[in-house]
Copies of this chain bind each other. A is one copy, B any other.
């Protein structure tokens, strides 16, 4: 089994995904992080810390999506909404973000001769982004199978989503069981020194830790 590639944002879900990938394969994952002009740049430092914890090679890909805007996370002129204040897909949605992340991840995995890309998407306690849902992941598996030398000459690169059906409570519990470095993670969409406590990401995280009966070590 080859080293896994894990898409690592520096948040709770991707950090638990790192721990699961490391445990299953017995290898330090190749961690792949995107600097896409996100407002919450703290997560880039957190990703480096998490990669260091796992003694992982850490590849940071620059992609300046702010050149075309369209999201509260990359366009300073659009406010980050308070949790629960919007119906449907919120303003923090970044157009085609996970498509871009997975496409690059599949390219890196193929160039490095790796067999699987892991991504910590989940579609239960989530912000309603369409590119976190099982039907999107399944469509991308079709891309891996048809668009790459690996998929034509042999088995396509696998896309692994161990958290896709988990609640946030289950993700916190898994992280604690695995000894994942949850104290190093960052979820808040805003760019301050401390999590804001009011955005969707803070709200989902707080409710997950509360339901699991665990104090959030990142707030200690």
* Interface of A toward B, CB cutoff 8 Å: 59, 61-65, 67-71, 88-89, 93-100, 102-104, 106-108, 110-112, 130-131, 133, 135-136, 138-140, 142-143, 145-149, 151-153
Contacts and interface: CB of A to CB of B under 8 A. Distances in A.
Copies of this chain in the oligomer: 2
Given A96-B110, A96-B148, A131-B147, A68 B59 contact: yes
A102 B136 CA distance: 15
A68 B147 contact: no
A130 B131 CA distance: 24
Chain A facing B: main interface SS? helix
A106 B143 CA distance: 15
Contact of A96 (B89, B97, B147): B147
B67 A59 contact: yes
A143 B136 contact: yes
Contacts of A107: 65, 68, 70, 94-97, 99-100
30 contacts: A61-B63, A62-B63, A65-B107, A68-B107, A69-B111, A70-B111, A71-B111, A88-B153, A89-B149, A89-B153, A93-B149, A95-B107, A95-B108, A96-B106, A96-B110, A97-B107, A99-B103, A99-B143, A99-B148, A100-B100, A103-B103, A130-B146, A130-B147, A130-B148, A130-B149, A131-B146, A131-B148, A136-B143, A136-B146, A138-B146
Contacts of A103: 96, 99-100, 102-103
A-B pairs, top 8 by smallest CB distance, nearest first, are A70-B111, A96-B107, A139-B142, A95-B110, A99-B103, A131-B147, A95-B107, A136-B147
